[in-house]
């Protein structure tokens, strides 16, 4: 039975081409690798090689033929091979490329049949997960955020031999910001690893170690330097579970300070939260106080998914009450009402929560009762907490120490528009940094960053109040 | 979990013991005898495996031409001896492998069912990644095969991490990390060399130098085209291997693996090879001559080369024809399976994004 030689698709997008020239004639002996013909596509002239051995028995499509559809039989080859391509004849309609997941999504959205909730399935169940109740007689310990983070890592390293930390100056120097202070002494150099200044490399090594079964904590001295490593965070860590059909786990934590510090100018002052929060496959956490920092970092280290854990240098030294429990672990994906109020909701995260609380105190003097919500986890984002509060107060402001464009603030506004519109008594406002690289000069830096005054102003506007 | 005795990375790094490093320290041993003394059965098995890759890839090329495989599809034809020579020397219980996007051959070298590999190429539910990874993103954690990575060079740093895990757990395994001559110019490769050498990680870096990074010849892209020398700055011994000869690759693997397993840190092995097909399926191949390709095919082909050894050793043409028939029929079955298997269910769109529920 002759082998049918068909017009090949020579690129992912080719649908038809020109059969420019036959280089073999009827009756010619063909060996694998022989060039049979030249085919022109819209991009290039390509050589069409024989795969099978045999005799070119018939040329079906003459040279010079244009617009030959992919899959058209162009020649016949008589071969000794019993198994021929004809045996895998294309089923009816097979020229339709198999429907990829993207095509499916597109169709479903066009049809308007998708509940937006379904699109972020993991987040949907978050509403049912609350912070564990802290027993009434639990002593509280005054702790800095810096110590809370260190304690979280130390506790998890005691609990699980697979947990280790790597990064620049994490061991002998005791941490560039002293977050890893004391860890080398307790756990030794095998588990507290000083790396060279080589972010792309060690982010990849950390990610690979997670794939290989360990539980790495990769510290970036600041997240500004993680831009050199973002490929591993996004392409290697976040996507592999999906691309492997669920085979490849990557339980790594990337952590370090994020956002503006103090007077370090544009390259060292940036909030990357919205960048990472846009990536499916990542968990993104950005706590504010010490109790959340500790409870969420412990949860992040235990998490089976890759986590980006964003800290803030300016908050490291602040003191907070942390429950003195043996194992203080908080749920990922759950916001927290840090101040209850009835008139307006202020949504924030990380250092912004401090400004929001300050603004709430100012506003209380004016008779405005603000509810302040700390998102804590940015992906998956606790939509339920945002919407529940909006339902109660009907007014909402988002405060974010970061640029406004394509921000977490933009995302919260979208949630309010799509799912909370009927509860809104005023437009949602966002208070973000100015849309400029952060300047060095003290006065300009102050102008560029959010503060409590600006948040209070926005709250007054959504409450239709004058200052 | 046991403590690893050998690595203490935070110890004073300024104290570099005189380790007698010479770039060619392993190469010299290799030059003394390059031919692996394979038994007749081993040789037949190498032949069978290389032929399986060859026929699989030819079929994948056909299915691509028929529109059953989409996107990018990078074939391994011509390079078979590299994966087979190296992976046949692995300890399958302990060692790990990672590579780039030209990964079909490395998977087949493990004896992974061709059906599930071909079904991944056609994007079907039965594919090894449920059809969600495709040609460039295939994994088998069962075999400690960690992909299948589409970003050029990324697998080298990830391989460093796999090696760190071997060392950390003290499981005695090593990581075999493949990359191409193109990836060899990525910065993270050298970041990884540095850490691997500094920490004496159990890793063999293998440059599959197939002479072209997409369409750019090594001479046009690389100031140092002898890639095995590129670890010298990190005190990594280099090996220069004919990647078209499976027995030579296997011999080199024996030497490199022994060095790494003895706690001496990484080895950089360059396997000089050649891909007969384009970089991917959509490659007009205008950057090299047909004569060059034909020369490799006719005079340096790894399968034909081993065939000569086999015939000298008494295997008959009929025996080999029998193997070829058997493999063709196995591949036909895989193609049929890949074509007739159902596509993933729509619900698979949302699965495997995250492991946990939050």
Map tokens 């399958």 to a residue. B92
Q: How far apart are CA A40 and CA A10, in angstroms?
A: 9
Is A83 catalytic? The answer is: no
Q: Do A212 and B354 touch (CB under 8 A)?
A: no
With 0-12 / 13-18 / 19 or more C-beta atoms within 10 angstroms meaning exposed / middle / buried, residue A364 is: middle
pLDDT tens digits along A141-154: 999 999 999 999 99
Chain B residues 59-88 with CB within 8 Å of chain A: 61-68, 70-72
Give the pLDDT of residue A107.
36
Structure tokens at A72: 């058209």
Number of CB atoms found within 10 A of residue B301's CB: 21
Measure in Å the smallest separation between the Cα of A189 and chain B Cα atoms. 5
Q: B158 vs A332: CB contact, 8 Å cut-off?
A: no
Nearest to B290 among A35, A201, A244 (CB): A35
Residue A129: band (very low, low, confident or very high) from pLDDT cuts 50, 70, 90: low
pLDDT per residue over A314-340, tens digit each? 999 999 999 999 999 999 999 999 999
pLDDT band at A373 (very low <50, low <70, confident <90, very high): very high
Domains by residue range for chain A, with CATH: 3-87 (2.40.50.100), 143-323 (3.40.50.970), 336-462 (3.40.50.920)
The DSSP line for A85-129 is GGGGPPPTTTTSPPPPHHHHHHHHHHTT---HHHHTHHHHGGGG-
> Domain boundaries in chain B?
37-338
Restricting to B residues 199-258, those with a Cβ less than 8 Å away from any Cβ of A are none
> What phi-psi label fits residue A188: left (phi over 0), alpha (psi between -120 and 50 degrees) or beta?
left
Check residue B282 and give its pLDDT: 77
In this predicted structure, what is the pLDDT of residue A467?
67
pTM for this entry: 0.86
Chain A neighbors of B147, CB-CB under 8 A: 240, 243-244, 248
* Class at the top of the CATH hierarchy for domain B37-338: alpha beta
User: Over 80: is that where the pLDDT of A99 sits?
Assistant: no
Other C-beta atoms lying within 10 Å of the C-beta of residue A445 = 17
- pLDDT band (50, 70, 90) for residue A80: low
Residue ranges of chain B with per-residue pLDDT less than 50: 1-5, 8-11, 13-17
Question: Which one of A111, A196, A208, A218 would you mutate to disrupt binding with B, by most B Cβ within 10 Å of its Cβ?
Answer: A208
- Poorest-pLDDT segment among A72-86, A374-388, B204-218: A72-86
ipTM field: 0.91
Provide the pLDDT for residue A154: 98
**In this model, does residue A123 exceed pLDDT 60?**
no
Helices (DSSP H) in chain B: which residue ranges?
A: 25-32, 40-65, 80-87, 104-108, 114-121, 154-169, 187-198, 218-221, 246-261, 290-299, 302-312, 317-340
* pLDDT at A41 (0 to 100): 80
């Amino acid at each position: 039975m002759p082998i049918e030689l068909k017009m090949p698709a020579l690129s992912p997008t080719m649908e038809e081409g020109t059969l420019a020239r036959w280089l073999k004639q009827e009756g010619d002996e063909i060996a694998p690798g022989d060039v049979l013909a030249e085919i022109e596509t819209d991009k290039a002239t390509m050589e069409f090689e024989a795969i099978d051995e045999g005799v070119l028995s018939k040329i079906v499509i003459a040279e010079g033929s244009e617009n030959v559809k992919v899959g058209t039989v162009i020649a016949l080859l008589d071969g000794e091979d019993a198994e021929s391509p004809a045996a895998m004849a294309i089923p009816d309609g097979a020229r339709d490329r198999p429907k990829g997941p993207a095509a499916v999504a597109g169709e479903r959205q066009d049809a308007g049949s998708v509940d937006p909730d379904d699109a972020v399935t993991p987040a949907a169940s978050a509403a049912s997960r609350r912070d564990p109740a802290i027993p009434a007689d639990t002593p509280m310990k005054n702790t800095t955020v810096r110590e809370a983070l260190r304690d979280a890592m130390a506790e998890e390293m005691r609990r699980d031999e697979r947990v280790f930390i790597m990064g620049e100056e994490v061991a002998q120097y005791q941490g560039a910001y002293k977050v890893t202070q004391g860890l080398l002494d307790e756990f030794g150099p095998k588990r507290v690893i000083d790396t060279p200044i080589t972010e792309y490399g060690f982010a990849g090594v950390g990610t690979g170690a997670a794939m290989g079964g360990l539980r790495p904590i990769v510290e970036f001295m600041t997240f500004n330097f993680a831009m050199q490593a973002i490929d591993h965070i996004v392409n290697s860590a976040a996507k592999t579970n999906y691309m492997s059909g669920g085979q490849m786990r990557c339980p790594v934590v990337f952590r370090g300070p994020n956002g503006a510090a103090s007077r370090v100018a544009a390259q060292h002052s940036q909030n990357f939260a919205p960048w990472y929060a846009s990536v499916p496959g990542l968990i993104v956490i950005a706590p504010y106080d010490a109790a959340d920092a500790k409870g969420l970092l412990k949860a992040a280290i235990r998490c089976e998914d890759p986590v980006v854990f964003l800290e803030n240098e300016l908050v490291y030294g602040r003191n907070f009450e942390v429950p003195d429990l043996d194992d203080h672990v908080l749920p990922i994906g759950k916001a927290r009402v840090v101040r209850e109020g009835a008139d307006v909701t202020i949504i924030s995260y990380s250092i912004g929560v401090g400004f929001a609380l300050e603004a709430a105190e100012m506003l209380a003097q004016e008779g405005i009762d603000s509810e302040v919500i700390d998102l804590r986890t940015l992906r998956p984002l606790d939509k339920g907490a945002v919407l529940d509060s909006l339902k109660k107060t009907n007014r909402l402001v988002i405060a974010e120490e970061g640029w406004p464009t394509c921000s977490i603030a933009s995302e919260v506004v979208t949630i309010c528009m799509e799912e909370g519109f009927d509860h809104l008594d005023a437009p949602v406002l966002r208070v973000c940094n100015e849309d400029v690289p952060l300047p060095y000069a003290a006065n300009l830096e102050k102008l560029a960053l959010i503060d409590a005054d600006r948040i209070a102003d926005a709250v007054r506007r959504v409450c239709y109040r004058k200052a | 979990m046991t403590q690893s005795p050998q690595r203490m990375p935070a110890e004073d790094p300024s104290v570099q013991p005189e380790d007698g490093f010479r770039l060619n320290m392993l190469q010299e041993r290799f030059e003394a005898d390059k031919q692996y003394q394979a038994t007749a059965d081993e040789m037949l098995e190498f032949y069978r495996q290389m032929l399986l890759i060859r026929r699989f890839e030819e079929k994948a090329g056909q299915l691509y031409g028929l529109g059953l495989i989409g996107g990018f599809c990078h074939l391994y034809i011509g390079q078979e001896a590299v994966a087979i020579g190296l992976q046949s020397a692995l300890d399958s219980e302990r060692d790990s492998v990672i590579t780039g996007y030209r990964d079909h051959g490395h998977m087949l070298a493990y004896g992974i069912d061709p059906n599930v590999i071909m079904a991944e190429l056609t994007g079907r539910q039965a594919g090894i990644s449920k059809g969600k990874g495709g040609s460039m993103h295939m994994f088998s954690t069962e075999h400690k095969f960690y992909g299948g990575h589409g970003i050029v060079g990324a697998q080298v740093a990830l391989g460093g991490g796999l090696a760190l895990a071997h060392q950390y757990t003290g499981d005695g395994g090593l990581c075999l990390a493949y990359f191409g001559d193109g990836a060899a110019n990525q910065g993270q490769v050298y970041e990884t060399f540095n850490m691997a050498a500094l920490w004496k990680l159990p890793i063999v870096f293998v440059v599959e130098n197939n002479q072209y990074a997409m369409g750019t010849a090594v001479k046009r892209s690389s100031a140092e085209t002898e890639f095995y020398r590129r670890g010298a700055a990190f005190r990594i011994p280099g090996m220069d291997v004919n990647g078209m000869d499976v027995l030579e690759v296997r011999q080199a693997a024996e030497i490199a693996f022994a060095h790494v397993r003895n706690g001496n840190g990484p080895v950089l092995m360059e396997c000089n090879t050649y891909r007969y097909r384009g970089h991917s399926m959509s490659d007009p191949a205008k950057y090299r001559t047909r004569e060059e390709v034909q020369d490799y095919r006719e005079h340096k082909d790894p399968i034909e080369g081993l065939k000569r050894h086999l015939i000298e050793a008494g295997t008959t043409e009929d025996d080999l024809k029998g193997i070829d028939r058997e493999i063709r029929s196995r591949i036909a079955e895989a193609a049929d399976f890949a074509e007739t298997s159902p596509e993933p269910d729509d619900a698979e769109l949302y699965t495997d994004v995250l492991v946990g529920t939050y």
